[in-house]
Amino acid sequence: MKGDRLLKFLEKEGLLNQTVTELPLDLKEICDDKQLAKKLSEKLGIPLFSISKGILSSLVLLFDSVKFSEIPLSKWIEAGSFPVEVSEKRVCVAVFNPFDLEWKNFLEFEIGSRVEVVVASYSHVKTVHAARDRNDFDFELPDEKKTEIIKEEAPVDSNNHEAAPIVKLVDKILRESIERHASDIHISPEQDGSPVRIRVDGLLQLLLTIPSGFHPAVVSRIKLLGGMDIAEKRRPQDGRLRVKAGNSTKDLRLSTVPTQYGENLVIRVLGGEFQSIHFDSLGMPDEIQSRLKTMLKGTSRVVLVTGPTGSGKSSTLYAALQYKNDGSHNIITIEDPVEYRLQGITQIQVNSKVELGFAEGLRSVLRQDPDVIMVGEIRDSETASIAMQVAQTGHLVLSTLHTNSAPAAITRLIDMGVPGFVVAASLGGILAQRLVRKLCTCNKAAECDQCHGTGFAGRTAVYSILEITDEIREAIHNNLPEHEIEKLARSHGYISLQEAGTELLKKGVTTKDELIRVLGDLPKLDLKTEEKKPLKKTKLLLVEDDPDTRWIMNEVFKEQLFDVTLAENGLEGVQKVYEELPDVIVADLMMPKMSGLELVQKLKSDPRTDKIPILILTAAGTEENEVLSFGHGVDDFVAKGSDIKILLARVQRLVSMKQGSGREA
């Protein structure tokens, strides 16, 4: 390495930690390497390059690009350098010593192209070299975690899709996607690379980016495994693959379409073998379970599950099949695709190539003596009509429909051409549902293994069930409009998806923004209780840093006719106290700028505010925190997640005690 000029620069900038005469192998021995990289970038006007999360895999692959394939790793290590970008228009490398012009000249001579240089810290250079030396893509993913491809090995093609780095990269994409519980994998070619995005809990997130030159090889590798024609890149193709990652076996459905920059590949991750799905595992409330089971006990009826794609309809249908799968029923399904394999149930995959669709499958299975028939989806008028007719011949038919609400399913069937009297006679019940993300317990920690810094981990369903009573059956028969049917249903306990979602919000399961994202605008909270409302508006100060909790509590107290003032942290809360002099204070325990206990101490030590009752509301409702709170002079303590009635009763008690104390005085 040419280190003389770099040493002079270190000495001039005052970055040397010790006196040296030559550049040592480990730069960290004599200076702060990250500070040095920043200084070099600023002084020389050279861009600074940093390794961000998810980019290491892409950098390692660049060593094996066509331009650099003849340059051994030892040369890169000797020069303290690594490739950053390789394309037809641009070649860029990172170096920790930009004074080493011999290395730049060597590269330009070897590859026959102009090379641009950026500055990287010495530690980042070593990180990339170590990853390439191990032929690894991510230090967080040990080599022993391997994705096993469950299929006969296909012959090796002459294309470079079988190169070791490509095989390892595909293995990483599939393995990490499965480990993160992704439902879909998107590999989309773009001009400057191919982002690999995975859909987790309904939303896409970036997994890594494949350099543009490697996209064809990655797609060819996956197409080969999926039994697709790797030579055909001009028309859409479908394939399938079964993989095992750890203890998890998954069926993958592959789909490619040609685009401007190459083939776009989408992989649907299905369940494989799955025997434990049931209503409880779905998080279905007991009341919904009870009403749905009542619908499933009858025959000569159609039970529908409605919602958009990705709302969990298939899982609910599988749980219903498991409920009916007691050995006394012949159960047959017609699906596209078969998402879970269930023992004791005959499952048929639709196949357009042999003209086996949902309608044709329905006609065929009637000769198989079924008791229960599950049709994956009612997509057209023919399937809808046949399903209704099959139900009237003594069968229980389960299916799905794409509608926004349960009452809308009735309108949809009639719009498909099914007569109202047939819908009235055949329909047994409708369950509408959506999936919303659940809050993670980590409070959005960046290093959380569960949520990866998103603040959400897993999803839960929001349900709205419509039972077809005699009154509703008559309304359908008489072609009453949708809103009239909903009005009748409410007298039998029907609630909308938005109302059901609000109940999850009250319990702290999810957030207002998440519900609005999935369900649209929410109704005003209806929080009627048996407690007496104050005869006049009592001034209440709510001090809460979490916006969702603040919104919920504000609606709760306004519904009870409190005059509510809001504060977003403890310090602001103290200021509001002296401005408003509230009758009662509800404050969070853990808050920025000033905690709930610090707020209590300040107010209780001031004669002007020491008589204002204070209730601490906290998610950390432990005995230790409760004892600590009362020791600081708190008047009451309620854990978040407690029933709303308990919170209101405690606040009313504090208000009554203060009013009684005032009268006695």
- What span, in angstroms and rounded, lies between the C-alpha atoms of 605 and 597? 12
Give the best-scoring range by mean pLDDT among 130-139, 231-240, 284-293, 614-623: 284-293
Residues 15-40 pLDDT 10s: 666 555 555 555 655 567 788 888 88
Between 131 and 164, the higher pLDDT residue: 131
E strand or H helix at 316, and its extent? helix 313-324
Q: What is the CA radius of gyration of the chain?
A: 32
Residue 467's nearest CA partner among 431, 441, 442, 498 is 431
Q: Read off the amino acid at residue 251.
A: D
Q: What is the pLDDT of residue 433?
A: 96
Q: What is the pLDDT of residue 156?
A: 30
Q: What is the pLDDT of residue 532?
A: 42
Per-position DSSP letters for 447-490, written without gaps between them: T-TTTTTSSEEEEEEEEEEEE--HHHHHHHHTT--HHHHHHHHH
Q: What is the 3-state secondary structure (H, E, C) of 174-206?
A: HHHHHHCCCCEEEECCECCEEEEEEEECCEEEE
Average pLDDT (169-174) is 88
Q: What is the pLDDT of residue 88?
A: 67
Pairing mode, strands 272-273 and 340-341: parallel
Average pLDDT (106-135) is 85
Return the structure tokens found at 169: 């990269």
For residue 592, whether the previous peptide bond is cis, meaning omega lies within 30 degrees of 0, is no
Q: What is the pLDDT of residue 23?
A: 58
Per-position DSSP letters for 220-273, written without gaps between them: HHHHHHTT--TT--SS-EEEEEEEEETTEEEEEEEEEEEETTEEEEEEEEE-EE
Q: What is the pLDDT of residue 18?
A: 56
Average pLDDT (336-359) is 82
Give the three-class secondary structure for 500. Answer: helix
Q: For residues 613 and 539, is the Cβ–Cβ distance under 8 A?
A: no
- What span, in angstroms and rounded, lies between the C-alpha atoms of 281 and 305? 17
Cβ neighbors of 505 (< 8 A, separation 6 or more) are 511, 512, 515, 522, 548, 552
Strand stretches in 307-426, DSSP E: 331-335, 340-341, 346-349, 372-375, 396-401
pTM for this entry: 0.61
Average pLDDT (197-224) is 88
E strand or H helix at 308, and its extent? none
Query: Quick one: pLDDT band at residue 9, thresholds 50, 70, 90?
Result: confident
Q: What is the pLDDT of residue 420?
A: 92
Residue 400's nearest CA partner among 365, 375, 369 is 375
Helix pair angle (33-44, 4-12), 10° resolution = 90
Give the three-class secondary structure for 616. Answer: strand
pLDDT above 80 (res 355): no
Residues 68-92 pLDDT 10s: 877 888 899 888 899 988 876 778 9
Query: Quick one: pLDDT band at residue 154, thresholds 50, 70, 90?
Result: very low
Q: What is the pLDDT of residue 53?
A: 60
Q: What is the pLDDT of residue 19?
A: 55
Average pLDDT (354-382) is 88
Average pLDDT (52-61) is 72
**Domains defined along the chain, listed by start:** 4-133 (3.30.300.160), 147-273 (3.30.450.90), 286-436+460-502 (3.40.50.300), 539-664 (3.40.50.2300)
Residue 345's nearest CA partner among 370, 364, 366 is 370
Q: Count the Cβ atoms, other than its own, within 10 Å of residue 211.
A: 20
Strand order of the sheet with strand 584-588? Answer: 563-567, 539-543, 584-588, 614-618, 636-639
- What span, in angstroms and rounded, lies between the C-alpha atoms of 172 and 164? 12
Cβ neighbors of 205 (< 8 A, separation 6 or more) are 197, 198, 199, 452, 454
Mean predicted lDDT score pLDDT of the chain: 83
Pairing mode, strands 81-86 and 91-95: antiparallel
Average pLDDT (591-619) is 88
Residues 243-270 pLDDT 10s: 877 677 788 999 999 999 899 999 999 8
The DSSP code for 425 is H
Q: For residues 262 and 217, is the Cβ–Cβ distance under 8 A?
A: no
Return the structure tokens found at 418: 């099914």
Pairing mode, strands 184-187 and 262-270: antiparallel
Residues 469-514 pLDDT 10s: 999 999 999 989 999 999 999 988 899 999 999 888 888 888 888 9
Q: What is the pLDDT of residue 213?
A: 77
Q: What is the pLDDT of residue 148?
A: 60
Q: What is the pLDDT of residue 231?
A: 81
